[in-house]
Structure 1
Amino acid sequence: MESSLRKTYKINTFVWVTISTHHTKILNWIYILMFRLSQIVNLFGFCCITLVFQTLYSTSVKADVFTIRNVEVNKKAASELTAKAKALASGQRTALSLLLKRITMLYDHDKLPKVNDELVTELVRDFSVSDEKFGGGRYLGKVNVRFRPKAVRGLLEKMSIPFAETASRPLVVLPILAEGDTQLLWDEPNPWFDMWGEYARSDGLLPLVTPHRELSDISLISAEQASSGDLAGLRAVSEKYKTRGVLVLIAQFSEIQEREVQRVEIKMINFGKNNLLDEKLFAYESQTEMSLTEFQKQVVLAQIQQLEEDWKQANLLSGGINNTMTALVPAERLSDWLEIKKRLSRVATVKHVEIRRMSVRETEIRIRFQGATDQLRVALEQNGLGLSAYAGRNVWTVERLDQ
């Protein structure tokens, strides 16, 4: 007698099939056949999308390192249109100078080319303006300039000037002012915190973020917990601001009266990868009769410059040094592969990705990259990807860090 058993099977995301049968073996055989067919269909779509990725990879957008924003311009001329033309030309020259200094080491800045209109024309991709004001033959505004990465790299390589273009994920800064036995973090006034809030930049190769001083910040960590390296509190702050770590800067200012100078001793606690703490000590002295406010400003700028130089030094690239590696990308779902593909396209040092082999569980790729393997690992981490050796095989694995 025929059974009234009915079962529904999911073939793929879009197709469900309901089958009536009187024989379990036939039902299972049909299911297996349909499942295999769905794998073929999914793999075909997978191949098509990865082929598009491989074709378009070289034109994908990297990190926004080659864009300089909010360059203020102010020019006066016989007419406002003439003033605008002069201001925009000046703004693009300033932006190019800032870009070249952003990605090169401080000790190489005197080797950089002289910026002129001809060089600007060669390297600028496009620009935009905002906050425009006209009046009395004067033009004021802000200029955002995007540069051609390949042309900028070519210029520096031709001049044998090493450069860095790997942008770090942001760091959140906790500036603590030590006054005797008291430590100030969220308290006001805290001029040390205010100075970092004014001069820390959220763009460039090493974005720095200062907290908003909200009630939720106060509940996450205290000055005493931060200065003692409380891992749970530091991790909570990093998670709230979505940064790769936390930088605690404990400053104690004093005055050397006989020499009429200010002095500061700074303890820097860097909380980052693998929940590890790294501590460093710094000391600065002011020029004679420099005010405390000006001294604090100069110290903050010096610290920011040192942090940026350290990051650039660790990620410095020399022209023409390219390497390749074979890597496996575990991705059973198409959405996983698409996300990994998108993140790979944002890694500045990755120059080309070739798809070697695909299966429903993993993809084998060949990566051509600039710099050393450790530099590639750092660059991948800034984009949420991990690079590790594949156990028992002479290949690497690239996978998401947030899974």
Structure 2
Amino acid sequence: MWFRRVSGALAMAFTLLAAGGVQAQGNNDIFTVRNVAVDETAQTAADARQAALAVGQRRAFRRLMGRLVPEDQQARIPDVDANLLQYYVLDFSVNNERTSTVRYLADLTFRFNPHEIRKLLRGAEVAFAETRGKPVVVLPVFSDPVTEPTLWTDENPWREIWAQRPGDDGLVPLTVPLGDLGDLAAIDAPQALAGDAAALRAIAERYGAEDVVVAEATLSGDPESGSGVLQVVSRRYNDGTAGATQRDKLVQVSGEPYDGFLQRAAARIDSSIQETWKQQYLLQFGNQRSLLAFIPLGSLDDWLILRRRLEGVAAIQQTGLVTLSREEAQMEITFVGDEQRLTRALAQRDLFLALRPDSNWELTLADRRPRSPAGASELPPPATAPLPQ
């Protein structure tokens, strides 16, 4: 039987997890900040490069803080001295490097030390999140007094603005469809505005997502003369089912270019998505608890996949093997927060935690479990609320 042949390897896998299951390594990409543009001038190229690295390091740190820390906690972030900031960086890389005798330009990538960043924030009692969400597809629908609602046509400057935005800078990756033939066949503007469940599921599946945000922007006034007004409505759908809705009105400010006006509106929607997510997944270090989970054993591959996915769950502080049999393993999971937050965080890694009929917890791969497991009770999702303004 499979179990007899690989039981030693399986026990070793459990032992390795028990020894090294704290703050798993799979989550560390969240602490990498990419595409930090720098352009510095000095008396020499070497001095310009040194200045650029210092500026880039500071910008990357601010972007990382914006990624992890909610807006209402930003003022609590310690002001790290420039000479000390380098100790929070593991390494950096350089792309698109260009130099002259006095100038240095490049796109930099910084990898920050997760342990040191966590220690910095916890020491200052700054609440933060580091659970990466699944991709969300954004459908920017635009209309103005002379243009019917449009999604894929060239008369959609709103979509162009969204396509230019970096979609992976927050904890929730935002994906704007390419607008190819497959996208056009999946959904159009009327279907998006009507919340057509089948069409929304089709476009989400094309990009490996479950959620879709329909971002509808209606323009009035004359943005070329600085008198534009945008009515923006963003509706979020999960598996085609309507969720939170945000409504906003933006007025163009004096001297603001049309593109900048649209960029400000897109940034506000993006920020609202990220802020809502961070509030839901704040790490509650003052509330630590543990549970015993039963893990059905199907194959060694299933176990290895489950272990890798567990490594990306920020709320899990430690795991330990309790018992091992031919049918299942029992694992103690120490985590911060409550069971509902843990269940949601595990779901982002395609892991399913549910109560069995015998009131014990069962942990399985989400893509291996039956769609409606008999007797299993999943914790309810959080209440749906409008995204913050």
Give TM-score, length-normalised by structure 1.
Answer: 0.84
What CA deviation, in whole Å up to 9, does each residue of 1:198-217 have, x standing for no partner? Answer: 12522321110000010010
Look up the equivalent residue of 1:376 and give its one-letter code.
L
Please give the secondary structure, in 2, of the residue aligned with 1:61.
helix
Task: Tell me whether 50-59 or 152-161 shows the greater mean CA deviation.
Answer: 50-59
Please give the secondary structure, in 1, of the residue aligned with 2:209.
coil
1:86 positional shift = 2.2
Q: How does 1:304-315 map to 2 (within 5 A)?
A: 304-315=270-281
Look up the equivalent residue of 1:114 and give its one-letter code.
D
Q: Which residue pairs with 2:236 in the alignment?
A: 270
Q: Which residue pairs with 1:89 in the alignment?
A: 54
Distance change (3 Å), C-alpha of 1:231 and 1:262: same
Q: 1:55 aligns with which of 19, 23, 26?
A: 19
Q: Does 1:131 align with 2:96?
A: yes
The answer on whether the counterparts of 2:231 and 2:250 sit within 8 Å (CA) in structure 1 is: no
1:172 positional shift = 0.6
What CA deviation, in whole Å up to 9, does each residue of 1:21-63 have, x standing for no partner? Answer: xxxxxxxxxxxxxx5xx64332222112222233343463315
Look up the equivalent residue of 1:69 and give its one-letter code.
R
Distance change (3 Å), C-alpha of 1:150 and 1:322: farther
Task: Tell me whether 178-187 or 78-87 shows the greater mean CA deviation.
Answer: 178-187
1:185 positional shift = 0.7
Please give the secondary structure, in 2, of the residue aligned with 1:83.
helix
Q: Which residue pairs with 1:367 in the alignment?
A: 333
Q: How does 1:192-231 map to 2 (within 5 A)?
A: 192-231=158-197
The answer on whether the counterparts of 1:71 and 1:94 sit within 8 Å (CA) in structure 2 is: yes
Distance change (3 Å), C-alpha of 1:256 and 1:51: same
Look up the equivalent residue of 1:61 and give its one-letter code.
G
Q: Distance between the aligned counterparts of 2:28 and 2:220, measured in 1?
A: 41
Distance change (3 Å), C-alpha of 1:39 and 1:191: closer
1:293 positional shift = 3.4
Q: Which residue pairs with 2:127 in the alignment?
A: 162
Q: Which residue pairs with 1:399 in the alignment?
A: 364
Q: Does 1:337 align with 2:303?
A: yes
Distance change (3 Å), C-alpha of 1:256 and 1:283: farther
1:77 positional shift = 2.5
Gap regions ≥5 residues in structure 1: 1-34
Look up the equivalent residue of 1:158 and give its one-letter code.
G
Q: Which residue pairs with 1:25 in the alignment?
A: none
Q: 2:115 aligns with which of 142, 146, 150?
A: 150
The answer on whether the counterparts of 2:234 and 2:269 sit within 8 Å (CA) in structure 1 is: no
The answer on whether the counterparts of 2:17 and 2:320 sit within 8 Å (CA) in structure 1 is: no
Instruction: Indicate the percent of aligned positions where both proteins have the same amino acid.
Output: 29
Q: How does 1:215-294 map to 2 (within 5 A)?
A: 215-255=181-221, 261-272=227-238, 275-289=240-254, 290-294=256-260
Task: Tell me whether 67-76 or 197-206 shows the greater mean CA deviation.
Answer: 197-206
Please give the root-mean-square deviation of Cα atoms over the aligned residues, in Å. Answer: 2.2
Aligned residues: 364
The answer on whether the counterparts of 2:285 and 2:337 sit within 8 Å (CA) in structure 1 is: no
1:261 positional shift = 4.1
Q: Distance between the aligned counterparts of 1:120 and 1:389, measured in 2?
A: 45
Q: Which residue pairs with 1:26 in the alignment?
A: none
Q: Distance between the aligned counterparts of 2:242 and 2:16, measured in 1?
A: 43
Look up the equivalent residue of 1:144 and give its one-letter code.
T
Distance change (3 Å), C-alpha of 1:217 and 1:334: same
Q: Distance between the aligned counterparts of 1:105 and 1:49, measured in 2?
A: 37
The answer on whether the counterparts of 2:10 and 2:300 sit within 8 Å (CA) in structure 1 is: yes
What CA deviation, in whole Å up to 9, does each residue of 1:177-212 have, x standing for no partner? Answer: 134682201111201111111125223211100000
The answer on whether the counterparts of 1:352 and 1:367 sit within 8 Å (CA) in structure 2 is: yes
Q: Which residue pairs with 2:76 in the alignment?
A: 111
1:279 positional shift = 4.6
Query: Higher RCO, 1 or 2 (CA under 8 Å, sep at least 6)?
Result: 2
1:82 positional shift = 2.5
Q: How does 1:165-180 map to 2 (within 5 A)?
A: 165-179=130-144
Gap regions ≥5 residues in structure 2: 369-389
Q: Distance between the aligned counterparts of 2:287 and 2:59, measured in 1?
A: 30
Q: Which residue pairs with 1:323 in the alignment?
A: 289
Q: Which residue pairs with 1:22 in the alignment?
A: none
The answer on whether the counterparts of 1:221 and 1:237 sit within 8 Å (CA) in structure 2 is: yes
Q: Distance between the aligned counterparts of 2:231 and 2:352, measured in 1?
A: 37
